[in-house]
Copies of this chain bind each other. A is one copy, B any other.
Amino acid sequence: MPVRPAPSKARPPRPRVRKKAASAYHHGDLRQALVDAALAAIAEGGLEGLNLRDLARRLGVSPAAPYRHFADKDALVRAVAADIAHRYAAVLAQAAAEAPPDPLSQFRATGVAAVRFAVRHPAHFRVVYTPGLHDHRGDADPTRQALTAAQAAGVVAPIPVDAMMLTAQCAIYGLSRLIVDGQLPGGAVTPAQADAMTRAVTDVLGLGFLPR
Does A17 make an interface contact (CB < 8 A)? no
Q: If A184-B137, A208-B208 touch, does A169 touch B164 (CB 8 Å cutoff)?
A: no
Select one of B48, B182, B200 contacting A162, CB under 8 A: B200
Q: If A131-B182, A181-B129 touch, does A204 touch B138 (CB 8 Å cutoff)?
A: no
Contact with B along A134-158 (1 / 0, CB 8 A): 0111100000000000000000010
Does A163 make an interface contact (CB < 8 A)? yes
Does A212 make an interface contact (CB < 8 A)? yes
Does A64 make an interface contact (CB < 8 A)? no
Interface of A, helix, strand, loop or mixed by DSSP? helix
State A172–B51 Cα separation when bound (angstroms): 34
- Are A166 and B175 interface neighbours, CB within 8 A? yes
- Are A204 and B174 interface neighbours, CB within 8 A? no
Show 18 A/B contacts (Cβ-Cβ < 8 Å), sorted by A. Answer: A129-B177, A129-B183, A130-B181, A135-B183, A136-B183, A138-B185, A159-B204, A163-B201, A164-B204, A166-B201, A167-B204, A170-B201, A173-B178, A174-B174, A204-B208, A207-B207, A207-B208, A207-B212
